[in-house]
Amino acid sequence: MMEKQCKTILDKYRKGNGSVISILQDMQEEFGYIREDAVNWFSGELNIPASNFYGVTTFYSQFYLKPRGKNIITACCGTACHVKGSAPIIEKLRTDLAIPEGENTSKDGKYTLESVACVGACSIAPVFIANKKVFGKVSKESADDMISFIESKKGKKNGK
């Protein structure tokens, strides 16, 4: 099954040079992350070392080597958010969403909790983004409202 999807992607780029980024973008769109078996398949088909694919994947933050959850929560860890208490809120979310220590995604694939250096909204710190909706001045208590938003039809990713 993976091979058929990869062949469709490959047909778009077989004759072009510098196609690694484009292939990775399409691969991630198709599978939701950069799959090792798909990288190895493209590497063999194009005679490009797998390390070239992984070099690009690890350089750009837009690529993911592990599956992500259906709902994405981004926590700002910039100075203002840190000083205003983002760390205990992140830990609360990690516990409430059953995200294992050392992982970003819940085992059921429902949530991914990721941290970024700064979202650029320091005046409303601490800031979290849930499925592209910004939540400012978040507290441990109001973090539950963010989860309720996600669970509501309005907050479902892609309206699903």
CA-CA distance, 37 to 139, in Å (whole number)?
42
How confident is residue 130, by pLDDT bands cut at 50, 70 and 90?
very high
Q: Which domains does the chain have, with CATH numbers?
A: 2-59 (no CATH), 71-159 (3.40.30.10)
pLDDT of residue 10: 79
Whether the predicted model's global pTM rises above the 0.85 cut: no
**pLDDT per residue as tens digits for the range 82-123:** 999 999 999 999 999 999 999 999 999 999 999 999 999 999
Q: Is the pLDDT of residue 11 over 90?
A: no
How confident is residue 24, by pLDDT bands cut at 50, 70 and 90?
very high
**pLDDT per residue as tens digits for the range 58-89:** 999 899 999 999 999 999 999 999 999 999 99
Tokens of 112: 């991914």
Q: How far is CA 107 from CA 67, 72, 80, 94, in A?
A: 10, 14, 31, 12
- The dihedral through the CA atoms of 149, 60, 82, 122 has a sign that is negative
